[in-house]
Amino acid sequence: MGMNNTTYDFHSMIERRDGSSLKWNQILAYNRDLPAGVIPLTVADMELKNPPEIMEGLRDLLDHEKTVLGYAGPPESYTDAVIRFLATRHAWEIDRDWIVNTAGVVPAFWHAVQAFSHPGEGVIMMSPVYHPFFYAAEQFDRHVVNCPLIDNDGRYEINWTLFEKLADDPTNTVLLFCSPHNPVGRVWTEGELRRLGDICLKHDVLVLSDEIHFDIILPGHRHIVYATLGEAYAQRSITFSAPSKTFNLAGLKTSYAIIPNKGLREKYTGYMRRVSAASPTILGFKACEIAYTECLGWLDQVIDLIDKNRLFVEDFCSGRLPQIRPYPMEGTYLQWLDCRSLEMDDERLKELLWSEAHFFVTPGTTFGKGGEGFVRVNLACPTSYLKSALERLEQVIRHL
């Protein structure tokens, strides 16, 4: 399956200045005269070409005389590919009925929060965390119930005492869990997952597990899908994932929720119908199918690249930029950088990074409490971008 000897191109410069990229548009709106060679490292999509197998497959699909771009249903071959991928890559045997296709993980967990909690109730989450988690509660008259992670010298841990206390409150009905965790890069261990799950089962908190980053796991770590802990955990959880982070397909809006429990599934799909939730598209289903069957070699090489980039950033900072401390990264392609020793408030820090160094990274405060003094850097890019970005930063910091 997709195992070949191809070496993929992770070096070519891709400048997406044509208006088709959300990330680039945001940065170009900030600075219309972005110098050539400056690449934004903010939003989590890759500054890498898609796997050529996907582009070729989509081209073939469009060239096929019988292809029609009408309303899409999930082709059986797509569903088979998802099932096979979860079994082989994540040791998770699922039934095909459990798959609910969704047009994006963010809309999918927003809908789940609405389907499974009531206005006025609390949604537990652990900051610093992917910011749409907050909106999933706030925008729909639920409370953000924050259980901030504890920074244990660079390795974040769950605050168990607080978590149990929050779970024990019957008005806190769902947990929005990020696994692996964006932005702090933790890959939760089996022990942590089980402890978390046991607390949720005991207090009847539904686990909404966002596992969109589950394929990007760095050497020495192992991702465990929450629902694979056992039947009880599977029956009281929904897992959200997608090929979008892994294969750089976010623009195709193709994702899925896996819901083993029939009652939860029916309630969820009922809610989706009520709000007319969108479906993935024909191109998205096809791209996912190809990704999950033919692009595993590409994925392995991307993980190597991210690991190499992680080491590059670590070496650069320890040798030339001691004011910046990269936190250990276990998964995702997002590096959490501690900039607190610069002793700047967050506004000044952003000004220095964005305006003076053209070091376009996401301010840590985006991710809520605990993000102050940090920034998040996207490492899914050619190593040369990181080198020039860090060199620009080194110059600016030297002249402080």
Q: Which stretch binds ligand PLP (CB under 6 A): 99-107, 264-272, 302-310, 387-395?
A: 99-107
Instruction: Tell me the DSSP string of 192-227.
Output: HHHHHHHHHHHTTPEEEEE-TTTT-B-TT-----GG
- The SS3 of residue 344 is coil
Nearer to ligand PLP by Cβ, of 242 and 321: the residue is: 242
Judge contact between 151 and 174, C-beta under 8 A: no
| Residue 291 is a binding residue for ligand PLP (CB under 6 A) | no
Identify the residue among 40, 57, 74, 104 touching ligand PLP (CB under 6 A).
104
Judge contact between 182 and 333, C-beta under 8 A: no
Q: How many Å from the N-terminal Cα to the C-terminal Cα in the chain?
A: 52
| Residue 185 is a binding residue for ligand PLP (CB under 6 A) | no
CA dist 305 → 27, 37, 219, 382 (Å): 24, 20, 12, 8
Judge contact between 235 and 263, C-beta under 8 A: no
Identify the residue among 54, 105, 252, 259 touching ligand PLP (CB under 6 A).
105
Identify the residue among 47, 121, 210, 289 touching ligand PLP (CB under 6 A).
210
In angstroms, what is the minimal distance from the CB of 245 to ligand PLP?
6
In angstroms, what is the minimal distance from the CB of 232 to ligand PLP?
25
| Residue 244 is a binding residue for ligand PLP (CB under 6 A) | yes
* Count of residues touching ligand PLP (by CB under 6 A): 13
In angstroms, what is the minimal distance from the CB of 138 to ligand PLP?
17
| Residue 380 is a binding residue for ligand PLP (CB under 6 A) | no
Judge contact between 253 and 107, C-beta under 8 A: no
In angstroms, what is the minimal distance from the CB of 179 to ligand PLP?
9
In angstroms, what is the minimal distance from the CB of 130 to ligand PLP?
4
Judge contact between 108 and 102, C-beta under 8 A: yes
Our CA angle for 31, 353, 387, nearest 5°, is: 100
Smallest CA-to-CA distance from 86 within 359, 357, 288 is with 288
| Residue 242 is a binding residue for ligand PLP (CB under 6 A) | yes
| Residue 250 is a binding residue for ligand PLP (CB under 6 A) | yes
| Residue 112 is a binding residue for ligand PLP (CB under 6 A) | no
In angstroms, what is the minimal distance from the CB of 334 to ligand PLP?
8
In angstroms, what is the minimal distance from the CB of 196 to ligand PLP?
16
Nearer to ligand PLP by Cβ, of 329 and 393: the residue is: 329
**Letter string b/e over residues 114-148, b meaning 16 or more CB atoms within 10 A of that residue's CB:** bbbbeeebbbbbbbbbbbebbebbeeeebbbbbbb
Tokens 């972005």, residue? 34
Q: Which of residues 36-55 bind ligand PLP (CB under 6 A)?
A: 44
Q: Which residue ranges make up the site for ligand PLP (CB under 6 A)?
A: 44, 104-106, 130, 178, 182, 210, 212, 242, 244, 250, 255
